[in-house]
Amino acid sequence: MNLLDEVGDAAVAHKVAHAVDTARLEARLRGLAAHGAVATGTGGGVARQALSAHELAARRWLVQPFAQRPGYRIGIDTAANVFVRRDGQESKLSPVMTGSHIDTQPLGGWLDGAFGVAAGLEVFDALDRLGLRTRRPIDVAMWTNEEGSRFAPGLMGSVAFTSPQRLDAFLGVRDGEGLCFEAARDAAVDDLRGEAQRLGWAWMDDTPLARPVHCYVEAHIEQGPVLEAEGLQVGCVTAIQGVRWFRITVAGRSAHAGTTPPASRDDAQAKAVRMAHALLEHAALCGDDRLRLTIGRWECSPGSINTIADRVVFTVDARHPEAAALDAVRLLIDTALPAGGQVEVLQDKPTVRFDAALASLAREACIALQLSHREMLSGAFHDAMPLAGFCPTAMLFAPSRAGVSHHPDEDTPIDDLAACTRALAWCLARLAGPLVSSTPNEPSKD
Ligand code: GLV
Ligand code: MN
Ligand code: MN
């Protein structure tokens, strides 16, 4: 069956889109940002890394209003991905899925990931306000550890969901404090189950990894400058560029900084700096501004001002839409690596192209709702990346102020967030339709 064979009525989708409430969306986003809020010199950042106490509290806070509303169930799977299920008329049908992640960078902004989850929940509120029941269930997913800053690689939850055989390798990954992902995952599952039992929530008993999903549409902020520069409201994403992460270890021998003559020095820091310089020069001078190369982490041991370094570990994040450009970075890493050095590949994701029919439905939504829009490539990776290899997938972007993200200044005008949410609502209503009336729920009574 074709994905678009059984879509719901466009006029009803229009109504759902217009039931999106800007103030309600903003209130949920502000409430979410309070979990892990950090006052910074520039404004308010958010420190809510994957499976931290702040993230667990935020998960409970987000699902709680729905857990007590008729027609909803809450679930968590073995990768600690959380789902809010809005039942459909035909509960055996696979769900239409939306969502994103609510973990942040060590100090991130308030919208990266959070917007996609809040937008999905706002669509639930809009459907409830209209008293509409969709034919298919709709799931809002909160994927575990999208960022990859606490446990590397990123996208662990969505990768494990779509390729369950990958979960075992993630379980042993440790964070900077030595805590393994498995322990953090178990604590997260116990936390949500405990809350559900205590409060008598309706629970999704059956949440295996890789369960069938009809299609996945994720809303996210662009995190780049394109939409704002062109004065557009929505980006219809057609592809996500490839990304490779490397961890490079350079070894030397520690010795006295003042007494060791040049000929006797084996300085890990000097060797690592030369290698990093070669990589950054390549990015600056290769003449291809689509190449993005970042050295984001740098650790030096023993880290003493007057001791030559015996070990440097640094990371390289390389991105480009074409594999050949990433192969060239890999070749340079291999040739510039000092003797005795080591390269580990932490993540290797080729460019992913989204489902053409879904991407055109996203454009149709923008046209129907008179939202200015364009097609675009995503520079950042997203949970939609693994989902795209699993079920028909698409993404919608809202503009980012000054293109800033992974920074406390990350922001988007609330009207733009609402516009993108309306496009999402239109798509979800059509994909999960046809729609039928039921008794209206009043979201405001929660
Ligand atoms: C996601 O956070 C990315 O780094 O693209
Ligand atoms: Mn994100
Ligand atoms: Mn991010």
- The CATH number for 202's domain is 3.40.630.10
Say what the pTM is: 0.94
Q: How far apart are CA 419 and CA 17, in angstroms?
A: 9
| Residue 147 Cβ < 6 Å to ligand 1 | yes
Domain coverage including residue 329: 243-349
Q: Residue 264 has which token pair?
A: 């006797």
- Same domain (yes/no): 163, 265: no
| Residue 381 Cβ < 6 Å to ligand 1 | yes
Q: How far apart are CA 48 and CA 147, in angstroms?
A: 11
User: Is 443 within the bounds of a domain?
Assistant: no
The residue out of 324, 349, 374 marking a domain boundary is: 349
The residue out of 302, 319, 349 marking a domain boundary is: 349
Give the atom of ligand 1 at the shortest distance from the alpha carbon of 381: 5
Number of domains in the chain: 2
The number of C-alpha atoms within 13 Å of 184 and in the hemisphere containing its C-beta is 27
Q: How far apart are CA 197 and CA 355, in angstroms?
A: 39
Closest residue CA from atom 5 of ligand 1: 380
Which CATH number does the domain housing residue 286 bear? 3.30.70.360
Residue type, 253: R
Closest CA to 201 of 112, 299, 327, 71: 71
Write phi, then psi, for 96 (nearest 5 degrees): -80, 135
- Same domain (yes/no): 56, 147: yes
Q: Which ligand is nearest to the CA of 347?
A: 1
Q: How far apart are CA 317 and CA 296, in angstroms?
A: 8
Q: Is 298 helix (H, G, I), strand (E, B) or coil?
A: strand
Per-residue pLDDT of the chain (446 residues; tens, 9 = 90+): 577 777 888 999 999 999 999 999 999 999 999 999 998 655 579 999 999 999 999 999 999 999 999 999 999 999 999 999 999 999 899 999 999 999 999 999 999 999 999 999 999 999 999 999 999 999 999 999 999 999 999 999 999 999 999 999 999 999 999 999 999 999 999 999 999 999 999 999 999 999 999 999 999 999 999 999 999 999 999 999 999 999 999 999 999 999 999 999 999 999 999 999 999 999 999 999 999 999 999 999 999 999 999 999 999 999 999 999 999 999 999 999 999 999 999 999 999 999 999 999 999 999 999 999 999 999 999 999 999 999 999 999 999 999 999 999 999 999 999 999 999 999 999 999 876 666 555 554 44
| Residue 380 Cβ < 6 Å to ligand 1 | yes
- The total number of residues written for the chain in this structure: 446
- Same domain (yes/no): 307, 376: no
Q: Is 13 helix (H, G, I), strand (E, B) or coil?
A: helix
H-helix segments, 286-413? 323-336, 356-368, 384-388
User: Is 399 within the bounds of a domain?
Assistant: yes
Q: Which of 49, 381, 397 to mutate to test the pocket of ligand 1 (most atoms within 8 A of CB)?
A: 381
User: Is 5 within the bounds of a domain?
Assistant: no
Q: How far apart are CA 128 and CA 414, in angstroms?
A: 22
Q: How far apart are CA 10 and CA 27, in angstroms?
A: 28
Write phi, then psi, for 444 (nearest 5 degrees): -70, -15
Closest residue CA from atom 2 of ligand 1: 147
Residue type, 112: D
How far apart are the CA of 190 and the centre of ligand 3, in A? Answer: 26
User: Is 1 within the bounds of a domain?
Assistant: no
- Same domain (yes/no): 283, 410: no
Place of tokens 């466009």: 10
Q: How far apart are CA 330 and CA 332, in angstroms?
A: 5
User: Is 3 within the bounds of a domain?
Assistant: no
Residue type, 288: D
Q: Tell me if 31 sits within 8 A of 39, measured CB to CB.
A: no
- Same domain (yes/no): 113, 174: yes
How far apart are the CA of 327 and the centre of ligand 2, in A? Answer: 25
Q: How far apart are CA 206 and CA 357, in angstroms?
A: 30
| Residue 218 Cβ < 6 Å to ligand 1 | no
- Same domain (yes/no): 227, 281: no
Does a cis peptide bond (omega within 30 degrees of 0) precede residue 434? yes
Give the atom of ligand 1 at the shortest distance from the alpha carbon of 243: 5
How far apart are the CA of 250 and the centre of ligand 2, in A? Answer: 31
